Structure 1
Amino acid sequence: MSSGQLPPPPPLDALLATGDVSLFLDFDGTLVDIASGPDSIDVPDNLAARLGALSKSLGGRLALVSGRGLDNLGQHAGALGIARAGSHGAERVLADGSALGDTPQPLDPDIVRQLKAIADASGALFERKSFGAALHYRAVPEKGPGIASEALAIAQADGLVAKHGKCVVELVRPGADKGAAVAAFMEIAPFSGSKPVFIGDDVTDEDGFAKAHEMGGFGIAIGERESQNAQFALDTVRDVHEWLGL
């Protein structure tokens, strides 16, 4: 269903009045507006501090779940004293910075070289990540299908997963899944026993929506993209900030 056809979520205060809630937030397109490239985003002032205050008000039941690597998240958002998962959920840390689960393995250098060659030939923007690599084709949208097809062929040949998003395709190892990140956090305090709510704007957030719904909560889709698993929707990043009270 198109996000535009979904109702808005109940106010957060009303939701909290019904019991404990855990919030899982995507980053790009949810807390910050999509930009021309991953390093061109405009991060709101004091976002890390505001998220920290929100986490405190929720008893620590707040986590960022992003396609970005955790190191990259820190570079853009500053020191984050909240739970967070990067690389599409593959790397997970608690609020104190301690790891949750095993450290994922980076891509083989040969895979990285192959993706870099696709970028060089097509005009796509190559983004190297700690545990993956992405091709952004916002500047050459007409080449998107071909770029995605080549990346998928590499993934299938090497036992990897191709994650598709808004003008981007990324290769990661199996298990890099935002739904799996939600499940991992929900197994431990302070998240366990609460109602999970996942907020995101892109295809890769569908796993998070589905897992939140499976575990008794729901998903909130951002923007006009069609969503298969969200129950509610908000229009813009500004609306997300207002709903969260940021």
Structure 2
Amino acid sequence: MTFESRALAPPPPFPDADRPALFLDFDGTLVEIAEEPHLISVPTHLNESLAALSRRLEGRIAIVSGRAVGNLDEHLDLAAIAAAGSHGGEMRMAGAKSANPLAPIAIEAADAVRVLVGEHEGLMLEEKPYGMAVHYRAAPNAAETVIERLETLAAGHDLAVKRGKMVAELLPRGFNKGAAVHSLMMTEPFEGSLPIFIGDDVTDEDGFAAAAELGGFGILVGPARDTAARYRLEGPKEVYAWLTA
């Protein structure tokens, strides 16, 4: 993956004429990041805005998140919107009742993660259908231990470790947001469109790269950093402004 260190301009006006497809991260992109995942504040207009975008794009919109699809359903109305959860580990097309089943991580590895979290005060475990995320925002001194233990477990169980903002996750190898974009772009109504991936975290870099590979681009949300994205917006408010301009 190529990362470029450069000043990023805001994206050009939303390109209706180019038949765009939107792939949207959730935390840090559509909602502000909270101290714990369940403490997020979802804007009252968000579901209405997503529904309007879906109509405008003829269904070419998907939420691509590290959260499980079932968890996204607790915060959003996704009945008519595709969703890829667990960093691409589960997929549900618009109108479907359930996500495609994928193999969860080994019971032994999951138990080891639970033991790790129990050893350190302040760690928070987020169990997903296809992964185990350890949040260490409240225990930053445990970060090195968490990452080291998860990487050891990954090596022993043919798994992968995804790192994000104050979180590390153990999940099956080969799942990432870029793979989710590639999969969705091979299906209707996304096929043949221009993919735009919007996200804030390092886990979104795979999505930025996939969008670029397929002729589109990525938009980084938040502070500037080395990134595969082509453009940047300051935060969720600026994302809404760009999408609805």
> Shorter-chain TM-score category?
over 0.9
C-alpha contact (below 8 Å) 1:196/1:215 kept by paired residues: yes
Mark the CA change 1:42 to 1:3 in structure 2 (over 3 Å): closer, same or farther.
Answer: farther
Q: Distance in 2 between matches of 1:203 and 1:225?
A: 12
Match of 1:114 in 2: 112
Mark the CA change 1:6 to 1:214 in structure 2 (over 3 Å): closer, same or farther.
Answer: same
Match of 1:221 in 2: 220
Amino acid at match of 1:104: L
Match of 2:161 in 1: 162
Secondary structure of the corresponding residue to residue 163 of structure 2: strand
CA RMSD, 1 decimal: 1.8
**Residue by residue, what CA displacement relative to the aligned partner does 1:27-57 show, whole Å, maximum 9, x if unpaired?**
0010011000111111111422321111110
Secondary structure of the corresponding residue to residue 110 of structure 1: helix
Match of 2:16 in 1: 16
Secondary structure of the corresponding residue to residue 62 of structure 2: strand
Secondary structure of the corresponding residue to residue 148 of structure 2: helix
C-alpha contact (below 8 Å) 1:196/1:217 kept by paired residues: yes
For normalisation by structure 1, the TM-score amounts to 0.93
Q: Distance in 2 between matches of 1:35 and 1:227?
A: 24
Q: Distance in 1 between matches of 2:242 and 2:96?
A: 27
Match of 1:44 in 2: 43
C-alpha contact (below 8 Å) 2:106/2:157 kept by paired residues: no
Mark the CA change 1:41 to 1:4 in structure 2 (over 3 Å): closer, same or farther.
Answer: farther
Q: Which moved more, 1:163-172 or 1:46-55?
A: 46-55
Match of 1:145 in 2: 144
Secondary structure of the corresponding residue to residue 145 of structure 2: helix
Amino acid at match of 2:30: L
Q: Distance in 2 between matches of 1:65 and 1:227?
A: 21
Mark the CA change 1:214 to 1:2 in structure 2 (over 3 Å): closer, same or farther.
Answer: closer
**Residue by residue, what CA displacement relative to the aligned partner does 1:160-206 show, whole Å, maximum 9, x if unpaired?**
01000000000110221111111111112211111100000011100
Within 5 Å, give how 1:163-242 maps onto structure 2: 163-224=162-223, 226-242=225-241
> How many positions carry a matched residue from both structures?
242
1:97 aligns with 2:103: no
1:32 aligns with 2:31: yes
**Residue by residue, what CA displacement relative to the aligned partner does 1:89-118 show, whole Å, maximum 9, x if unpaired?**
121111111668x52111222212111111
- Runs of 4+, deviation exceeding 4 Å: 1-4
Q: Distance in 1 between matches of 2:103 and 2:226?
A: 30
**Pairwise CA distance, 1:80:** 3.7
Secondary structure of the corresponding residue to residue 228 of structure 1: coil
- Tell me, which stretches of 5 or more residues in structure 2 are unaligned? none
Q: Distance in 1 between matches of 2:83 and 2:215?
A: 21
For normalisation by structure 2, the TM-score amounts to 0.93
Q: Distance in 1 between matches of 2:215 and 2:78?
A: 31
Amino-acid identity (%): 43
C-alpha contact (below 8 Å) 2:79/2:95 kept by paired residues: no
